[in-house]
Amino acid sequence: MGRLIAISNRTAVDPKARAGGLAVAVWESLKATGGVWFGWSGEIAESEHRVLHAHHDEGVEFLLTDLTREEHDGYYLNYANRVIWPVFHYRIDLASFDRDAFTIYAAVNQRIARQIAPRLHPDDVVWVHDYHFMLMADALRHTGWEGPTGFFLHIPFPAPEVFRALPEHHWIARALCAYDVIGFQAERDRYNFVQYLIDDCGGEDLGEGRVKAFDQTITVKAYPIGIDAEGFREASRSAKADEAAERIGRFLGGERELVIGVDRMDYSKGLPERFEAVGRLFDNFPDMRGRVSVTQITPPSRSKVEEYQELRVELDGLAGRINGDYGDLDWIPLRYLARSYSREELAGLFRIARVGLVTPLRDGMNLVCKEFVMAQDEDDPGVLILSEFAGAAEQLQSALIVNPHDTDNVAEAIHTALTMPLEERKSRWRRLRDTTVEQDIGWWREKFLSDLSPGGLN
C-alpha cells in the first residue's frame, strides 16, 4: 500500500492547526495511509547540524527540520516572502530581488530533499505544497527518486510578463516540470503557466490537461481548493459562535447592519482600497451613515517584513481618518481590529453579517468568502461581495463581483448588497452554497490525488 508523503513549510503537528481546511484535507489522507508530513519545525537551529525531529500522532509521522538563521532569512524571509510572494501577487514594485537569497532557497530545497529521500518507499506518493518548495521535485529526482510527485500552488501564478521579472524564472519553470502533476487554484493561473512554457520554453499544450516541456509530459490543471463546508456550517451554529454574534449584536443595537471583512494583514488583500471604499460609500450614499457598521478583522502577519510593517501604519492611519471624518457620538463607521479570533467566533460574526466584503487585489483562491457563504442562514442570507481577482471568482459568479481598485464600484456594490431584496439574496446565496458544498475540501483532495495516483493510495 502506498503512503502519502506531504511536504510543506508549515505542518499541522499542533492538533489545533488541524481545524482549518487545508490541514484537515492533508491530515485525513495521511491518516488513511499511515503517511508522513515533512516540514519546518518553526525553530531556528542552534548549530549547523540539522536533524529531523520525529513526532507520531494517530499513525502519522511528522518529520520536522529546524532552519539555521541563514536558511531562515534567505529561504523563508527573503526569497519566499520578499521575492516570490510579491511577484506572484503582481507586486514587482514590492519585491526585493536577491540572488543570494535564491541560492539559499535552492540549497534548502536540496538539503531537505536529501533528508527525505532515504525515507521514501518505492510505492509512496509525494505531494508538495506551495511556493516554498517549487524546486523540491527536481531536488528529489537528483537523489534518484522516481515515484509520483505532485505540486499544488496555493497562490496565483502570474502572467508571463510578470513572471519574467523574476531573475530565476527559467530555472524555476524548468524545476517545476520535474513534477508529474502541477495544480493551480484557477484556470487563469494554469493558462499563465502554460503560456509561459509555450512562449519561453518551447512547450506544447497537448490538451486535456497535458503539457510537454523540457522533455517531460506533465499534467497541469486547476484544482480550486475548497473548505470543510459542513464543518464550518456547524462552527457557525456553536455556542462560541452565538456568544460572538451576541457581543457584536449589542454593539450594533439592533438597528445597524454589519458588513464584515476578515483577512490576514497582507498587501495582497486590498485593505487600504477597501477602507477607501468605505469612505466612498458614506460620501456617495449619505443615507447609509449611521446605518452600517463595517468591521474588519485583520490579524497581523509576517511582521518582520518591512512592507508589512508599512501596511500596518497605513491601515492605522486610514481607519483613524475614516472614523474621524464620518463617525458620530453614537456611531463608529469602521471597526478595525488588528487581532485574531477563534474560528467559531469568526463563524458567528459571518452568520449575523449582512454583507461579506472580500476584495483582495490578488488571491490564489480565498477561503474567507466560502466560509462566509457556509455561515449564512437559509431564510435570511447575507450578500457576498467578491473581487474579480480572487481565484474564487471563477467558481462564485453569483456573488456581487467587483474590481477592488475601483472604490466607487465597491461602494456601489455595498449599497446594492444592503438594499437587495430578500428573494434575490436567497437565490444568489443558494447557488453559492451549492458550489461551496459540492466543491469542498474533500472534492479538491480527491481530484488532485486521483490525477497524481490514478490507482489510488490504498
What residues act catalytically?
Answer: 154, 363
Decide whether 228 or 276 has the Cβ nearer to ligand GDG: 228
Q: How far is the CB of 23 from ligand GDG (least distance, A)?
A: 10
d(CA 102, CA 100): 5
- 365 near ligand GDG (CB under 6 A): yes
Site membership for ligand GDG, residue 363 (CB under 6 A):
yes
Closer Cβ to ligand GDG, 171 or 341, answer by number: 341
Closest CB to ligand GDG among residues 7, 297: 297
Window contacting ligand GDG (CB under 6 A); options: 64-72, 172-180, 360-368, 402-410: 360-368
Q: Which residue, chain included where needed, has cell 481546511?
A: 21
Instruction: Tell me whether residue 9 or residue 366 sits nearer to ligand GDG (CB atom).
Output: 366
By the rule CB under 6 A, 262 interacts with ligand GDG = yes
Spell out, one character per residue from 387 to 406, where the chain touches ligand GDG: x when CB under 6 A holds, - when not. Answer: --------------------
Applying CB under 6 A, the span of 367-375, 379-387, 417-425, 430-438 interacting with ligand GDG comes to 367-375
- DSSP output for 165-178: TSTTHHHHHHHHTT
Three cell numbers written together for 147: 515515484
Segment near ligand GDG (CB under 6 A); pick from 247-255, 342-350, 427-435, 437-445 = 342-350
* Per-residue contact string for residues 10-39; x = within reach of ligand GDG by CB under 6 A: ----------x-x-----------------
Q: Tell me the window of 213-221, 237-245, 337-345, 429-437 that interacts with ligand GDG (CB under 6 A).
A: 337-345
Exposure on the CB side of residue 380, measured as CA atoms within 13 A = 7
Rounded distance between C-alpha atoms, residue 206 and residue 202, angstroms: 13
Cα 296 to Cα 178: distance, rounded to the nearest angstrom: 42
Report the amino acid identity of residue 248: I
Per CB under 6 A, the list member of 371, 375, 396, 435 interacting with ligand GDG is 371
- Which of 442, 435, 294 is closest to 369 using CA atoms? 435
Q: Per CB under 6 A, does 308 bind ligand GDG?
A: no
Radius of gyration (C-alpha) of the chain in whole angstroms: 23
Among 171, 191, 285, 341, binds ligand GDG (CB under 6 A): 341
Q: How many residues bind ligand GDG (CB under 6 A)?
A: 21
Residue number, 106 or 241, with CB nearest to ligand GDG: 241
Contact, 197 vs 211, CB < 8 A?
yes
What are the residues whose beta carbons fall under 8 Å from the beta carbon of 206, sequence distance 6 or more?
212, 217
Question: In the complex with ligand GDG, which residue's Cβ is closer, 286 or 299?
Answer: 299
Q: Report the residue number, 80 or 104, with the smaller CB distance to ligand GDG.
A: 80
Please say whether the beta carbons of 58 and 31 come within 8 A: yes
Query: Which of the residues 136 through 175 are near ligand GDG (CB under 6 A)?
Result: 154-155
Burial 28-63 (b: 16+ CB within 10 A, else e): bbbeebebbbbbbbeeebeeeebebeeeebeebbbb
| Nearest Cα residue to 166 out of 272, 80, 273, 269 | 80
- How do beta strands 52-57 and 36-44 pair? unpaired
Here the cell at position 143 is 537523489
Span 282-301, contacts to ligand GDG by CB under 6 A: 297, 299
Question: Which residues of the chain form contacts with ligand GDG (CB under 6 A)?
Answer: 20, 22, 154-155, 225, 262, 264, 297, 299, 340-343, 346, 363-368, 371
